[in-house]
């Protein structure tokens, strides 16, 4: 039986693909106030502005390509049972070939009902022929169509599934996340005691002091190259 690897990824894994991050210096929150584009209140105040923001991100995403880190994570599936738990809303993991992905904060390439975002009957996948949510465009329940994104103060519907899979991990990998955004940052606490934990990030990242975390202080692609070599040496 293959060992189980669970990977928690954040914006840093997609930064090398040129896809804009939210929190870093020069990130999107510096140009677009979070309360205007990532809260239910912002949506109700100006839904067209919010949809324009995510339309723009969607156009950026279709022109971005998976980077080496994405491809190396997909390559792990040759030898391991791998689940990606991502805080990202892009589809770069999927496009690189990863097959088991839990999206914590939604999916940019999907649109949903504004009355009930998690009602699967009204979630639709957008494509290159229809990237934009147009002003006044409706979901199947008659409400305004919005991007399928988990906004601040909204529940994270997939957090329970993510916690369950973390409990099954034989190896836990963290890539490109500040570990400051909850509830995602708390997933490390669900890992079985004593399993190897690896963290790849060029910046200092705080993790629970009682856990031993093997830090690879590098960008995602170089860090993944290093980690692949480490894993080859492990039984």
Backbone phi, psi, residue 59, to 5°: -65, -40
Averaged confidence pLDDT in the chain: 92
The DSSP bridge partners found for residue 111 are 124, 147
> What is the distance between the terminal CA atoms of the chain, rounded to a whole angstrom?
13
* pTM for this entry: 0.93
Tell me, what's the pLDDT at 129?
87
Does residue 80 share a domain with residue 174? yes
pLDDT digits (tens, 9 = 90+) for 206-231: 898 889 999 999 999 999 999 999 99
Does residue 119 share a domain with residue 34? yes
CA quadruple 202, 109, 33, 115: dihedral, nearest 10: -140
Number of domains the chain contains? 2
Alpha-carbon distance of 196 to 49, in angstroms, equals 44
Domain that holds residue 189: 1-19+66-105+155-235
Does residue 6 share a domain with residue 25? no
Does residue 15 share a domain with residue 27? no
Q: Which CATH number characterizes residue 88's domain?
A: 3.40.50.1220
What is the DSSP-derived secondary structure letter of residue 50?
H
Does residue 228 share a domain with residue 113? no
Does residue 133 share a domain with residue 75? no
Tell me, what's the pLDDT at 83?
98
Active-site residue, 93 included:
no
> Of the residues 59, 93, 105, 212, which is catalytic?
105
CB count in 10 Å sphere of residue 2:
12
Return the axis-axis angle of helices 68-75 and 220-233, rounded to nearest 10°.
20
Contacts of 111 (CB under 8 A, 6+ apart): 123, 124, 126, 133, 139, 145, 146, 147, 148
Residue pair 188/8 in contact (Cβ under 8 Å)? The answer is yes
Alpha-carbon distance of 148 to 235, in angstroms, equals 41
Tell me, what's the pLDDT at 25?
45
pLDDT digits (tens, 9 = 90+) for 132-179: 999 999 999 999 999 999 999 999 999 999 999 999 999 999 999 989
Tell me, what's the pLDDT at 199?
97
pLDDT digits (tens, 9 = 90+) for 81-134: 999 999 999 999 999 999 999 999 999 999 999 999 999 999 999 988 899 999
Report the Cα 36 to chain-centroid distance in Å.
Answer: 21
Alpha-carbon distance of 53 to 38, in angstroms, equals 10
Distances (CA, A) of 176 to 1, 11, 86: 29, 6, 10
Q: Which CATH number characterizes residue 139's domain?
A: 3.30.1600.10
Does residue 207 share a domain with residue 137? no
pLDDT digits (tens, 9 = 90+) for 30-83: 567 788 889 999 999 999 989 988 998 898 899 999 999 999 999 999 999 999
Tell me, what's the pLDDT at 205?
93
Does residue 226 share a domain with residue 136? no
Does residue 25 share a domain with residue 15? no
Strand order across the beta sheet in which 101-103 lies? 101-103, 81-86, 4-9, 171-175, 197-200, 214-216
């Amino acid at each position: 039986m293959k060992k189980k690897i669970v990977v928690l990824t954040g914006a840093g894994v997609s930064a090398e693909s040129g896809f804009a991050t939210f929190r870093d210096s020069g990130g999107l929150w510096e140009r677009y106030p979070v309360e205007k584009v990532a809260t239910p209140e912002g949506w109700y105040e100006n839904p067209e502005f919010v949809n324009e923001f995510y339309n723009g991100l969607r156009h950026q995403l279709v022109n971005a390509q998976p980077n080496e880190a994405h491809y190396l994570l997909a390559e792990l599936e040759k030898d391991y049972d791998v689940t990606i738990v991502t805080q990202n809303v892009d589809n770069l993991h999927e496009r690189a070939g990863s097959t088991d992905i839990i999206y914590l904060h939604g999916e940019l390439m999907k649109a949903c009902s504004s009355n009930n975002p998690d009602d699967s009957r009204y979630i639709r996948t957008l494509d290159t022929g229809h990237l934009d949510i147009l002003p006044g465009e409706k979901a199947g329940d008659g409400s305004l169509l919005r991007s399928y994104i988990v906004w601040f103060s909204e529940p994270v519907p997939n957090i329970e599934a993510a916690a369950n899979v973390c409990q099954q991990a034989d190896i836990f990998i963290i890539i490109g996340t500040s570990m400051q955004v909850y509830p995602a940052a708390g997933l490390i606490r669900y890992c079985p005691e004593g399993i190897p934990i690896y963290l790849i990030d060029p910046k200092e990242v705080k993790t629970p002091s009682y856990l031993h975390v093997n830090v690879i202080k590098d960008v995602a692609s170089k860090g993944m190259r290093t980690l692949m070599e480490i894993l080859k040496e492990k039984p």
